[in-house]
Amino acid sequence: KYGKPVGVDDPWGYGRSLEWATSCPPPRHNFITMPRIRSESPAFDLHHPEIAALDQLENVGHGDKALAGGKEAGK
């Protein structure tokens, strides 16, 4: 309100949610296609793909541990 106007859409540079991934004010259609959400911080992933890639490599295969009975494989 009293400071200088901000000239960028994400003044912090690391906004986590999708509202920081579009311009301000947002256009009528924010995204050409529906964005694919792969983490709890999709806008951060867009701005820092190298960190998102590390997270994906670290979590590969972890979703396959659970079996139908609710037990982990191998236990």
**Residue-wise pLDDT tens digits, 11-68:** 666 677 777 777 777 777 777 787 777 778 877 777 777 776 776 666 665 555 555 5
Confidence (pLDDT) at 11: 66
Confidence (pLDDT) at 29: 76
Instruction: Report the amino acid identity of residue 73.
Output: A
Confidence (pLDDT) at 55: 63
